[in-house]
Chains A and B, each alone.
Chain A
Amino acid sequence: MSSEMSSELREMAESVFGDAWDSSTDAFDAKLWESVEQTGLARLTLPEEAGGSGGTMSDAAAVLIAAGQFAARVPLVETDLLAAWLLHAAGIEVPSGPLSATVAGNLTIQPAAGGAGADVSGTLRRVPWGRAVSAVAVLAGEQVLLVETAGAGVEEGTNLAEEPRDDLVLNELTVRHVAAVPSVAVVEFPLRAALGRALLLAGAARGAVAMAVKYATERVQFGRPIAKLQAIQQTLALAGAEVAAAAAATEAAAREVDKHGFAEASFAIAAAKARAGEAAGQVARITHQVHGAIGFTREHDLRLVTTRLWAWRDEDGSEAYWNDRVGARVLEVGAEGLWPLLTGTP
């Protein structure tokens, strides 16, 4: 997709998610989901022949950054980047509606008594939006199961942003669709999850700084807007730079995926998730400091983005996890290999 089309896509996404901004609830936004289905954003990167829009990861980057910026209460990463991709890769028809996806290592899977499919027991832990989706794509070893949530027990939980992270309890649940996936999918799943989360982080960081800038120009102390104080200008400039870094890293990682595929882009994705996570902490700290006490309450909307920054930086691998991966890779390539690694040119 050309950069012009990407910028149109971004405008559309910002308008769709911006219109849905609502701090009165933390629940799944069914109306917004209808909009993303209608506009083709819900299955943006799924190939057209599988019912998707056939977009690139760079397209998804534009959409996910906007979703993060406006704290969209819909499982876009889970539906498009994870579940739809995984099911399609396994040759399972992608169901309609919002989906989730998870990796499970502790399930008991036995051939179904009735023939096709399997009987599955065990617990799927902290499934994003578990209570709100009709089905979950589960990667168990090199098998993919399409688990319909209607037959599962739901133990509700949330992350710091009060987004659903529910345990789904399966008790000899019959799963009709079971299929093998190529082993590359096992490598790819966490990379997709991390890049999706990193893009959302980059968006939430952008949203938080946008709010802090607006607040600073409106809040009057000492007889003038606090934006006129150099101390505020300096600290928000630091936050602005963090937003720019998170966007640059995550968008660049998306481009690497478009060029080389997920497995080849693993270094870029690791660096991008780590850098976006680092930006998240800085941005949340600075934007709260600028907002003062009101930002520290439920009366103000800043929390919608800052709680997401705190939640998402730890989901799908924290800075510690991904920087460790980067560090290991650097030690592997050594002094001579560092610059070629950074430039992606051996």
Chain B
Amino acid sequence: MTDTMATLPDLVPPPVELPERVAALRSEVRAFLAEERAAGAWRPRADTWLSGWDERFTKELARRGWLGMTIPTEYGGHGRGALDRYVVTEELLAAGAPVAAHWVADRQIGPSLMRFGTEEQRQRFLPGIAAGEVYFGIGMSEPDSGSDLASVRSKADRVDGGWELTGTKVWTSGAHHAHAFFALVRTSPKDDTNRHAGLSQLIVDLKAPGVTIRPIPLLTGAHHFNEVVFDKVFIPDSMVLGEIGQGWHQVTSELAFERSGPERYLSTFPLLVALLGEVSAQELDAGRRRDLGGLVSRYWTLRRMSLAIAGALEAGKAPELAAAVVKDLGTRFENEVIDAARLLVSIPPDPAGEQGGFARLLADAVLHAPGFTLRGGTNEILRGIVARGLGLR
């Protein structure tokens, strides 16, 4: 080899095959979704894991054993693998089903409690999560802390038997419905030589005295985001997640779950399905047929990448780098689908259009799109992680 030769680390784990056992599971989920749709229980939406809060639907999923799937049975879960959960979630997202109520709890709170929670915390929350009755939010961002998460200023002071929490969290999806969230807070003063030290995660009861929740309407006018203000909220020692001072490490591990799922490329999939309902083979000339094919080739590729990550999760790994790669590709692609779809047919977006119809899905998708490449870590931050993985920094 010459001195210009170089090798590159693998950014995404090797491909995985879904085990035979999940084929039956997939059929069951599809049959259930078909039944729901036939009954008119809901209409497909774009970005349903943010906008589709439907506690009835969540409880129906729980009744079938499709929430808390990876949680051990002793905590009310089902002790199944990450790939089983993957199949259920991708089917729900592809159908545009209303999954927002349980999304955060099922995706990252359950795994975090299993990894860092006390026995008491697991007993208290996991059975409710698996039953579709306990909902969680995410308490990371603050007015002055977005991408620079380590700069959070919400602070907890030591008091008798626990901590007294003061500060503000923002962009908390579903906080007005949820029971609790994990707040990333400062438990000791900022150390400029180690910015990641002194942070901790507290489990905050969102109905507790001193917690004020105010809506922050989205571009659509819809109420999903909230500001959550803590005014001397008492957090008992029993609601400290993991170890005091280990918050940064814990949050990073939580992000591997938050960033790695199929919701990072499927948010606008129902739009493409609706588009196909509007076109027939005769209406699409060769150029547009090619554009449509291009979208589907990329969907197919992203799904294989996303599956590879689920395979790594199933093997007990925390594929943070791969999650960053796929989330960057996937969320940019969610936007590209919108651009392509609006040019494939001449149907303008209509925010008052029929729910589930192309015009309404397009309107919602366009107005939700800015969030795709922000939430859970901006794409610029993700690329910084990838650059580190490549050995550039």
Contact of A326 among B1, B297, B328 (CB under 8 A): B297
User: Is B342 an interface position by the 8 A CB rule?
Assistant: no
At the interface with chain A, which of B116-124, B182-190, B298-306?
B298-306
Of chain A, the residue at the smallest CB distance from B27 is: A345
User: How many residue pairs at the A-B interface have CB separations less than 8 Å?
Assistant: 196
Query: For this complex, into which size category does the number of interface residues on chain A fall?
Result: 35 or more
User: Is A168 an interface position by the 8 A CB rule?
Assistant: no
CA distance A70 to B286 in the complex (A): 36
Instruction: Report A283-341 residues with CB < 8 Å from chain B CB.
Output: 300-302, 319-320, 322-332, 334-335, 338-339, 341
For A230-241 the 0/1 string (1 means CB < 8 A from B) is 101110111011
Shortest Cβ gap from A233 to chain B (Å): 4
Instruction: Report B1-39 residues with CB < 8 Å from chain A CB.
Output: 1-2, 4-8, 10-12, 14-15, 17, 23, 26
CA distance A268 to B274 in the complex (A): 23
Tell me which residues across on chain A come within 8 A of B216, comparing CB atoms: none
CA distance A274 to B303 in the complex (A): 15
Shortest Cβ gap from B330 to chain A (Å): 10
Shortest Cβ gap from A2 to chain B (Å): 11
User: Is A247 an interface position by the 8 A CB rule?
Assistant: yes
Tell me which residues across on chain B come within 8 A of A228, comparing CB atoms: 392-393
Contact of A240 among B11, B14, B284 (CB under 8 A): B11
Q: B291 near A327 (CB under 8 angstroms)?
A: yes
Q: A324 near B390 (CB under 8 angstroms)?
A: no
Tell me which residues across on chain B come within 8 A of A334, comparing CB atoms: 276-277
Q: A271 near B325 (CB under 8 angstroms)?
A: no
Shortest Cβ gap from A163 to chain B (Å): 20
Tell me which residues across on chain A come within 8 A of B384, comparing CB atoms: 230, 233-234, 237
Tell me which residues across on chain A come within 8 A of B23, comparing CB atoms: 345
At the interface with chain B, which of A13-21, A124-132, A176-184?
A13-21
CA distance A227 to B6 in the complex (A): 15
Residue among B279, B286, B300 facing the most chain A CB atoms (10 A cut-off): B300
CA distance A234 to B324 in the complex (A): 13
Q: A249 near B300 (CB under 8 angstroms)?
A: yes
CA distance A330 to B288 in the complex (A): 12
Residue among B12, B296, B298, B389 facing the most chain A CB atoms (10 A cut-off): B296
Q: B8 near A243 (CB under 8 angstroms)?
A: yes
Of chain A, the residue at the smallest CB distance from B304 is: A252
User: Is B64 an interface position by the 8 A CB rule?
Assistant: no
User: Is A270 an interface position by the 8 A CB rule?
Assistant: yes
Q: B5 near A232 (CB under 8 angstroms)?
A: no
Tell me which residues across on chain A come within 8 A of B389, comparing CB atoms: 240
Q: B387 near A322 (CB under 8 angstroms)?
A: no
User: Is A342 an interface position by the 8 A CB rule?
Assistant: yes
For B272-298 the 0/1 string (1 means CB < 8 A from A) is 111011011100101011111110111
Shortest Cβ gap from A273 to chain B (Å): 9
Instruction: Report B373-392 residues with CB < 8 Å from chain A CB.
Output: 380, 382-384, 386-387, 389-392
Q: B300 near A324 (CB under 8 angstroms)?
A: no
Tell me which residues across on chain B come within 8 A of A249, comparing CB atoms: 297, 300-301, 304
CA distance A252 to B300 in the complex (A): 10
Tell me which residues across on chain A come within 8 A of B390, comparing CB atoms: 209, 213, 236-237, 240
Contact of A233 among B269, B294, B298, B383 (CB under 8 A): B383
User: Is B329 an interface position by the 8 A CB rule?
Assistant: yes
CA distance A245 to B290 in the complex (A): 19
Tell me which residues across on chain B come within 8 A of A244, comparing CB atoms: 10-12, 305, 322, 325-326, 329
Of chain A, the residue at the smallest CB distance from B17 is: A255
Contact flag A327-B12 (CB < 8 Å), given A234-B387, A240-B386: no
CA distance A289 to B274 in the complex (A): 39
Q: A327 near B293 (CB under 8 angstroms)?
A: yes
Q: A330 near B292 (CB under 8 angstroms)?
A: yes
Tell me which residues across on chain B come within 8 A of A328, comparing CB atoms: 281, 289, 293
Q: A331 near B391 (CB under 8 angstroms)?
A: no
Tell me which residues across on chain B come within 8 A of A343, comparing CB atoms: 26, 90, 303
Of chain A, the residue at the smallest CB distance from B289 is: A327
Q: B393 near A345 (CB under 8 angstroms)?
A: no
Of chain A, the residue at the smallest CB distance from B298 is: A275
Contact of B8 among A206, A248, A267, A323 (CB under 8 A): A206
Of chain A, the residue at the smallest CB distance from B333 is: A245
Instruction: Report B241-284 residues with CB < 8 Å from chain A CB.
Output: 269, 272-274, 276-277, 279-281, 284
Instruction: Report B346-393 residues with CB < 8 Å from chain A CB.
Output: 380, 382-384, 386-387, 389-393
Q: A324 near B286 (CB under 8 angstroms)?
A: yes
User: Is B94 an interface position by the 8 A CB rule?
Assistant: yes
CA distance A140 to B197 in the complex (A): 70
Tell me which residues across on chain A come within 8 A of B308, comparing CB atoms: 248
Tell me which residues across on chain A come within 8 A of B273, comparing CB atoms: 335, 338-339
For this complex, 16 residue pairs linking A to B, each with C-beta atoms less than 8 Å apart, are A22-B2, A227-B392, A228-B393, A237-B390, A244-B326, A245-B301, A245-B305, A245-B329, A270-B293, A272-B301, A274-B293, A275-B301, A323-B294, A330-B293, A334-B277, A338-B273
Given A243-B11, A330-B292, A338-B272: 14 more A-B contacts, CB < 8 Å: A213-B391, A233-B393, A237-B382, A244-B329, A252-B15, A275-B300, A275-B301, A278-B298, A327-B291, A331-B281, A335-B276, A338-B276, A343-B90, A345-B26
Q: Which 9 A-B pairs have the closest CB atoms?
A: A327-B293, A326-B293, A323-B293, A237-B383, A233-B387, A327-B289, A214-B6, A237-B386, A335-B276
